[in-house]
Amino acid sequence: MDMVTVRKLKKYYGSGENQVRALDDIDSSVARGEFVAIVGASGSGKTTLLNMIGGLDVPTEGEVIVDGVSLAGLREEQLAVFRRKKVGFIFQNYNLVPTLTVKENILFPLELDGSAPNEDYLKEVVGLLGLGERLCAYPAALSGGQQQRVAIARTLVSGPSVILADEPTGNLDSRNGQNVAGLLKMTAELYHRTLVMITHNQELSQLADRVLYMEDGKLREQRISL
């Protein structure tokens, strides 16, 4: 069964001559547990698509269905719960809270939700991501690769079905980028999470089960131009 389906999805910005078709009639789906990479030039609509899937933005037309639920049918508070529980975002700039330690950052979303962490799971995730020794450190003391590994741990511990990663290795050198993307793939697989990752990097896109190409607001299974 599909975890994510988008139907006739359109997102237009502006109007008349200035209209930008950021998403121009997209039909696509991502299977449960699948890892899909989205590649495409800057401005082609990748972030817009990810934000629609994550319920951060509303389409001009068309439908987004996640885990069998159409986002258009959700009321504002249901959408807030969806964003908190169903999807996890990983951003290029890590988005850690600078005044919280690594452990506090990882537990932050659970805390907002008033849920208690599963200590065994937390320990396992932290170990897999090589953060066991850094739990009391603050983000500023960490390398970029370590900060992104904290963001991955935070997402996994908060337990969403779908992980949406927007150029997660964009600020990392190629060695750290490979490492982070590899860990993201490995942990998503291990914990049966569906993963959608935007990347500029051809090599990293090859880690995915399937690569989709975004060009001028259209999403294709095959690359059209180079």
Ligand X SMILES: Nc1ncnc2c1ncn2[C@@H]1O[C@H](COP(=O)(O)OP(=O)(O)O)[C@@H](O)[C@H]1O
Nearer to Mg ion, 45 or 109 (CB): 45
Which CB atom, from 20 or from 56, has the smaller least distance to ligand X? 20
Rounded to a whole number of angstroms, the minimum distance from the CB of residue 218 to ligand X is 12
Helix (H, G, I), strand (E, B) or coil at 143: coil
Question: Which residue of this chain has its Cβ atom nearest to Mg ion in the complex?
Answer: 47
Rounded (to 5) percent helix, strand, coil in the chain: 40, 25, 35
Residue 44 sits in the site that holds Mg ion (CB under 5 A) = no
Q: Pinpoint the alpha helices (H) of the chain.
A: 46-53, 76-85, 102-112, 119-128, 144-158, 174-190, 202-205
Instruction: Based on the shown chain and the rule CB under 6 A, indicate whether residue 5 belongs to the binding site for ligand X.
Output: no
Token look-up 């997102």 returns: 11
15 binds, options ligand X, Mg ion, none, Cβ within 5 to 8 A by partner type: none
Chain positions 14 to 43 lying near ligand X, rule: CB under 6 A, are: 20, 22, 40, 42-43
Mark residues 42-81: x for contact with ligand X by CB under 6 A, - for none.
xxxxxxx---------------------------------
Q: Which does 22 bind (CB under 5 to 8 A by kind): Mg ion, ligand X, none?
A: ligand X
DSSP-derived 3-state class of residue 199: coil
- Whether residue 180 contacts residue 144, with contact meaning beta carbons closer than 8 Å, is answered with no
Cα(31)–Cα(28) distance, integer angstroms: 10
